[in-house]
Structure 1
Amino acid sequence: MDKVNRLEQLNGAISAIEKGAQEYQIGSRRIKKAELSVLYQERRRLEQEIRDQESYGGVTVACFDRR
Structure 2
Amino acid sequence: MTLEEQLKQINDAITAIEIGGQEYQIGSRRLKRADLSLLYKRQRELQAQINYENSPNDALANTYVSVFDRR
Give the TM-score, by structure 1 length.
Answer: 0.74
Aligned equivalents of 1:14 and 1:30: distance in 2? 19
Can you give the 5+ residue segments of structure 2 that lack an aligned partner in the other structure? 61-71
- Extract structure 1 runs of 4+ deviating beyond 6 A: none
1:55 matched to which residue of 2? 55
1:30 matched to which residue of 2? 30
The amino acid across from 1:12 in the alignment is: D
1:2 aligns with 2:2: yes
User: 1:9-61, CA deviations, whole angstroms, 9 ceiling, x for partnerless residues?
Assistant: 111100110012322335523120111111001100100000011113638xx
Identity within the alignment, %: 49
SS at match of 2:15: helix
Aligned equivalents of 2:2 and 2:25: distance in 1? 32
Can you give the 5+ residue segments of structure 1 that lack an aligned partner in the other structure? 60-67
